[in-house]
Amino acid sequence: MRLRGRRGTREELEQRTDLVVLDPKAYKGRWHERFGNNNPIHVELGMGKGQFITQLSAQNPDINYIGIDMFDQLLHRASDKAIKARIEHGRPELNNLAIVLFNIEYLEDVFADNELERVYLNFSDPWPKKRHHRRRLTHPNFLRKYMRMLNSNGDIHFKTDSEELFEFSLNSFSDVGLRMRNITLSLHREGNPSFNVMTEYEGKFVEQGKPIYRCEVVVGADALAKHVEALKTETSK
């Protein structure tokens, strides 16, 4: 991602305390206190410029969203977008989004067990060299962390333009014993599905005519039970 630095960015982030969190470790196990309610928490890991998480948060006031990235400039862009999205949706008073500066490698310092309900992985860095595969956000070492942080309704939503990363990830999900659903090798085959909010990267890849791979991963026990029940109903029709 190309980033153009600007003086004063950090100072401006420090002023946006309603949206931006620069000390996320302080909220471990206490994110509900920050949001002031017990609504489910959905997290995007590597939110980039924030189009996805800011749109979702403006659309769904009853879900709390956290977008994480590690560059000040990206947090600045994302917080600008959040303010704009709230105004566009006629909800400037919304308080259901936190834009967080943090390195995902140390995620367990920020979230307690069972604190989250959904993890979004959108166009995560593909790390093509074999010696870097451990850095992939769908590597089993990361998945085990998400599995601890996700609650009984928990799931993971994953999309990517990288066929190789998708293949690797399906194997990883299976290796840690997780069940996948709604797998597609071309999310945009018939246009953008109504449920799908596009990310910045996704927009570029779709314009280039590249296929987008997507799947959902069932993690929590209740989520799995609901999934199995829904399948039974579907197959008995």
Ligand X SMILES: C[S@@+](CC[C@H](N)C(=O)[O-])C[C@H]1O[C@@H](n2cnc3c(N)ncnc32)[C@H](O)[C@@H]1O
Residue 138 near residue 165, CB atoms below 8 Å: yes
3-class SS of residue 113:
coil
Nearer to ligand X, 12 or 200 (CB): 200
All residues at 6 or more sequence positions from 34 whose CB lies less than 8 Å from its CB, including other chains: 21, 27, 98
Nearer to ligand X, 4 or 232 (CB): 4
| Residue 113 annotated as part of some ligand binding site | no
Task: For the chain, give the longest Cα–Cα distance.
Answer: 62
Residues of this chain that interact with ligand X (CB under 6 A) are 1, 46-48, 68-71, 74, 103-105, 122-125, 199-202
Residue 11, phi then psi, degrees to nearest 5: -60, -40
| Residue 210 annotated as part of some ligand binding site | no
125 counts as catalytic: yes
In the complex, what is the shortest distance from the CB of residue 194 to ligand X, in angstroms, rounded to a whole number? 19
Query: Considering only CA atoms, which of 118, 225, 115 is closest in space to residue 179?
Result: 225
Nearer to ligand X, 68 or 178 (CB): 68
Nearer to ligand X, 80 or 224 (CB): 80
In the complex, what is the shortest distance from the CB of residue 87 to ligand X, in angstroms, rounded to a whole number? 22
| Residue 62 annotated as part of some ligand binding site | no
| Residue closest to ligand X when measured from CB atoms | 46
| CA-only gyration radius of the chain, Å | 18
Query: Considering only CA atoms, which of 161, 164, 165, 166 is closest in space to residue 208?
Result: 161
In the complex, what is the shortest distance from the CB of residue 139 to ligand X, in angstroms, rounded to a whole number? 12
Residue 180 near residue 173, CB atoms below 8 Å: yes
| Residue 69 annotated as part of some ligand binding site | yes
| Residue 96 annotated as part of some ligand binding site | no
Catalytic residue (one of 109, 125, 175, 222) = 125
In the complex, what is the shortest distance from the CB of residue 232 to ligand X, in angstroms, rounded to a whole number? 35
134-161 burial code (b ≥16 CB/10 A, e <16): ebbbbbbebbebbbebbbebbbbbbbbb
In the complex, what is the shortest distance from the CB of residue 202 to ligand X, in angstroms, rounded to a whole number? 6
| Residue 17 annotated as part of some ligand binding site | no
Residue 76 near residue 13, CB atoms below 8 Å: yes
Q: Which residue has the tokens 């069972």?
A: 114
The annotated binding site for substrate is made up of: 129, 161, 199-202
Binding-site residues from annotation: 44, 69, 103, 125, 129, 161, 199-202
Binding site residue list for S-adenosyl-L-methionine: 44, 69, 103, 125
Active-site residue set: 125
